[in-house]
Amino acid sequence: MTLNRRHFLSLSGVAALGAGLAPLLAARSAPPAASFPYALTDAQWRARLTPAQFDVLRREGTERPYTSPLNDEHRKGTFACAGCEQRLFSSSTKFDSGTGWPSFWQPLDAAVGETRDSSFGMVRTAVHCANCGGHLGHVFDDGPRPTGLRYCMNGVAMTFAPQA
């Protein structure tokens, strides 16, 4: 009985979250299963990416925290997708989340898409590159102002170009 009720409550929570996110998802993205403007075969991706990049971008892996040099990148510039070079985040939206992953409170316009991720027994919102579909990380609602969002990114999935 208790279990059933808890189960019900948890499902309600998920439904509420889904309803809240639906307009956001519709406006921003297609699901990863959809085709993307920049598409390569797995073999082509393997040839183009390092094994660590391939694991994150093409297999939704997660890098170990505090391993990316981009954590400590504080120059002005732009973070781009390591798979297709699409510009993703401006340094002006980067903040230190204390998580060990590069974190941002807002992506560049139309740069990323978001999907529901229910792996590992959690319901999270996964973030992918809108151009190639590469997995970048997740977005949470405990970020700083002005958006209150925390885009928790895998540094290995991105490159950084300092402002000229």
Where do contacts with Zn ion occur on this chain (CB under 5 A)?
81, 83-84, 86, 129, 131-132, 134
Q: Is 152 known to be catalytic? A: yes
Q: Minimum distance from CB of 132 to Zn ion (Å)? A: 3
How far apart (Å, rounded) are the C-alpha atoms in residues 78 and 160? 6
Q: Nearer to Zn ion by C-beta: 136 or 152?
A: 136
**Would you give the DSSP letter of residue 70?**
G
Q: Minimum distance from CB of 24 to Zn ion (Å)? A: 20
Q: Where does 35-123 show beta strands of DSSP type E?
A: 77-81, 87-90, 94-95, 103-104, 112-117
Q: Nearer to Zn ion by C-beta: 61 or 144?
A: 61
Identify whether 107 is preceded by a cis peptide bond (ω within 30 of 0).
Answer: no
Q: Minimum distance from CB of 60 to Zn ion (Å)? A: 14
Q: Nearer to Zn ion by C-beta: 129 or 149?
A: 129
* Region at 24 (left for phi over 0; alpha for psi -120 to 50; beta for the rest): alpha
How many other C-beta atoms can be found within 10 angstroms of the C-beta atom of residue 100?
A: 15
Query: Known catalytic residues?
Result: 152
